[in-house]
A and B are shown apart, each in its own frame.
Chain A
Amino acid sequence: MAFQEIKLYQTGTFVAGNRLLDPEQRSVQARTGRSNSITSGHRACRGCGEALGARYVLDAAMRATEGKLVAVNSTGCLEVFSTPYPESSWQLPWLHSLFGNGPAVAAGVAAALRAQGREDIRVVGQAGDGGTVDIGFGTLSGLFERNDDVLFVCYDNEGYMNTGVQRSGATPPAATTANTKALGDHPGNVFGQGKSVPLIAMAHEIPYVATATVAELRDLEYKVEKAMTFRGARYLHVFVPCPLGWGADSADTVRLARLAKETGLFPVFEAEGGTLTEVSRIRTQVPVEDYLRPQRRYAHLFGDHPRPDIVARLQAKADRNIVRFGLLPEGDE
């Protein structure tokens, strides 16, 4: 390996190890030439999973497209903390229109690029879970069905954080939010059918669907780069803890993201053309309680009036994911 000048940046997991790797194998964030698509100085909370996720996603996409990238952003924390007028954290062309229309705007950008014969420029759309699974869902489904050449990324922090932590269609059962407080007989969010947009995306049979967390950033970069090898609609659902909304320690963002995966609550997988192709297996299954306890949004399950019944239901949910997606190492199931 030739001598390389190393510059250290504030980065995520596995980075130090990267320095020992051949330059080609290093993570995007470990490279001196990374694009810094979202610069430091933005207004996200300390330990914001969404800021971390967006940085890795966009820098990886920038590398994959050699800088020929346009980003479209729906309203939400990411949009607000990155563009407090007259400042902007974005070092790539970036357009924000509304809360519910990110996918359609991104599709319009892609159509314009195609009309101009500029398909070398690629489009990433990004939104929170609210902008994706709820208010933007119609336009997202339209984008999938038309197979527009857009990578749409959902940063899932399981609630409407920007408006003060209300429940979204992605808020898990039993979690308290500003409008699902621990009041009444059924504290926190209801137990519903759940709404897995990754699975719904797969039902559209689009070229590529993947889930990822900010605990495994190398995996996140890999999935972004892989997504950019496809043309057509691609969907990436990234699990991004929100210390403020979840009542968690800022230092626990990566740990909680890892626990979400290791409990089975958040299955990490890839699918092509509607068929599951890879699952990221769990080394040792962790009980959901380990994940729930550090978060104030679940405090009502443990305090003076503990609700082991509800914890058991959440455990059952995790166990079901493990069976359904085959999350344990082969032979362990």
Chain B
Amino acid sequence: MLRQLEGSQAVARAVTLCRPQVIAAYPISPQTHIVESLSDRVRTGELEACEYMMVESEFGAMSACIGASGAGVRTYTATSSQGLLFMAEALFNASGLGLPIVMTVANRAIGAPINIWNDHSDAMSMRDSGWIQLYADSNQSAVDLHVQAYRLAESLSVPVMVCMDGFILTHAFEEVDLPEQEQVDAFLPRFRPQQALDPDDPLTIGAMVGPEAFAEVKYLMHVKQMAALDEIPMIADDFREAFGRASGGLLQPYRVEGAETVVVALGSVLGTIEDVVDTMRDEGVAVGVLGITCFRPWPVDEVREALRGAQRVVVVEKAFAVGAGGIVGQNVRDAVRGSPVQVYDVVAGLGGRPITRASLRGLLDDVLADRVDPGRLYFLDLDHELVQRELERARHGERPGPHAENMLRALGTVASGAYE
């Protein structure tokens, strides 16, 4: 059924359709609307036979999901940013134990400086936590990915994170096609746990493992993630058959046929990039976009294949490894290793800075005109003047104080024109 809905409401409805039995969550913007809505649905009985746990922290939320999943029920949680980091230890534990928990990450920047707006540094920081990571590019894809995530998680007994851009998606009203309950029930079989705490068949879960088998346990985690590379496209095929629309899968190529330059990105910025690509294609420039839906496991062969014809690959990402470079970019470089393609690492949209069509167009023009050095991390729309001024000040000041406050003050001065 087509409806005009806020992204968070759409996701809450999709999760409800998946019939989780335990939800444990702790509020943090921009995840709040999702879990508030789920709390309502449990209270009104719309979501039956479900326990909603008001936990004391995100660490408690993930831990409660670990307990509930270990007891053999379908579980759900959602978080963002600081909350995801607060869960970090439990995230690795959930994946190590092979518990098929599904979690929404409403992507938000990580402080300091504290910032509630969107980027991908939260989810990217947990890329090696053993969770599968799927990135939604629209609210429709967020809805569909949640339904697919449960199927995937439970078929392999691995936890899955569905990432959706905070505010840009969670708080945006869009038309969404919500599946019917019967459709979801048919697509998503009842949860049959691979391990469960059961007095009739007592298992020890979470035993200590030393050097004699630790590597083997970890290897099996990797094997399962590799299996997900086969499973995800199959689930997407089944989904198309059942719901009549394409959604999910590993990658989302757009006009990459014959493209000499391909932009690689994740999440909601893909829409903007596609618009830019359309314009440039109309002008006869051979550009395309490769959207990454599944970032973990990393579909290295599929990415290599998708980028086969390209000469330049521009990776636009909303996070970076401080002191090293691009994160997605590194993975892309791994995929195209041995081929002569140039990979550009572009950091954009940090802390909620809009990534505009004009900026993207400017970037691509610069890349095509060889004005960007592919060997260097490139920051889109960086205020170089502001940075220089602060560096200068810090160099001379005895006790220069916090950068963030200084830069904000500098910006305020510029904006008001009241001083100087």
Chain A, 156-193, CB within 8 A of any chain B CB:
none
Pairwise interchain contact A70-B56, C-beta atoms closer than 8 A: no
Is A138 engaged at the interface, CB distance under 8 Å to the other chain? yes
A191 to chain B, nearest CB (A): 30
Pairwise interchain contact A101-B199, C-beta atoms closer than 8 A: no
> Which residues on B sit within 8 Å (CB–CB) of A84?
207-208, 210
> Which residues on A sit within 8 Å (CB–CB) of B59?
100-101, 104, 138-139
Is A222 engaged at the interface, CB distance under 8 Å to the other chain? no
Is A25 engaged at the interface, CB distance under 8 Å to the other chain? no
B247 to chain A, nearest CB (A): 29
Pairwise interchain contact A92-B212, C-beta atoms closer than 8 A: no
B419 to chain A, nearest CB (A): 45
Is B93 engaged at the interface, CB distance under 8 Å to the other chain? yes
**With A70-B71, A90-B202, A91-B202 known to touch, is A107 a contact of B53 (CB < 8 Å)?**
yes
Is B206 engaged at the interface, CB distance under 8 Å to the other chain? yes
Q: Mark A76-112, 1 if CB is under 8 A from B, else 0.
A: 0001100111101011111111101100111111111
**With A67-B199, A93-B203, A142-B57 known to touch, is A111 a contact of B49 (CB < 8 Å)?**
no
Closest to A121 in B: B199
Q: Which of B21, B68, B71, B201 has the most CB of A within 10 A?
A: B71
Pairwise interchain contact B208-A80, C-beta atoms closer than 8 A: yes
> Which residues on A sit within 8 Å (CB–CB) of B212?
85
Closest to B26 in A: A142
Is A44 engaged at the interface, CB distance under 8 Å to the other chain? no
Chain B, 361-413, CB within 8 A of any chain A CB:
none
Is B67 engaged at the interface, CB distance under 8 Å to the other chain? yes
- Within 8 Å by CB of B210, from A85, A94, A113, A138, lies A85
> Which residues on A sit within 8 Å (CB–CB) of B71?
70, 108-109, 112-113, 116
**With A70-B197, A97-B93, A111-B24 known to touch, is A105 a contact of B204 (CB < 8 Å)?**
no
Chain B, 188-245, CB within 8 A of any chain A CB:
197-199, 201-210, 212-213
**With A114-B51, A141-B56 known to touch, is A97 a contact of B202 (CB < 8 Å)?**
no
**With A85-B208, A93-B197, A96-B207 known to touch, is A142 a contact of B67 (CB < 8 Å)?**
no
A35–B199 alpha-carbon span in the complex (Å): 12
> Which residues on A sit within 8 Å (CB–CB) of B202?
90-94
Pairwise interchain contact B67-A107, C-beta atoms closer than 8 A: yes
Is A26 engaged at the interface, CB distance under 8 Å to the other chain? no
Chain A interfacial residues counted at CB < 8 A: 45
> Which residues on A sit within 8 Å (CB–CB) of B51?
111-112, 114-115
> Which residues on B sit within 8 Å (CB–CB) of A95?
67, 70, 197, 205-206
A68–B202 alpha-carbon span in the complex (Å): 10
Closest to B99 in A: A97
Q: Which of B50, B55, B67, B204 has the most CB of A within 10 A?
A: B67
A201 to chain B, nearest CB (A): 15
Is A313 engaged at the interface, CB distance under 8 Å to the other chain? no
B45 to chain A, nearest CB (A): 14
Q: Mark B343-364, 1 if CB is under 8 A from A, else 0.
A: 0000000000000000000000
Chain B, 29-83, CB within 8 A of any chain A CB:
49-51, 53-57, 59-61, 63-73, 75
**With A94-B205, A115-B73, A138-B60 known to touch, is A108 a contact of B199 (CB < 8 Å)?**
no
Pairwise interchain contact B199-A105, C-beta atoms closer than 8 A: no
Q: List 19 A-B contacts (CB under 8 A).
A: A73-B206, A84-B208, A85-B208, A93-B201, A94-B203, A94-B205, A94-B206, A97-B66, A104-B61, A105-B64, A107-B53, A107-B64, A112-B51, A112-B68, A115-B21, A116-B49, A116-B71, A138-B59, A142-B57
Binding site for A on B (CB under 8 A): 21-22, 24, 49-51, 53-57, 59-61, 63-73, 75, 89-90, 93, 97, 197-199, 201-210, 212-213
Binding site for B on A (CB under 8 A): 67-70, 72-73, 79-80, 83-86, 88, 90-98, 100-101, 104-117, 121, 138-139, 141-142, 145-146
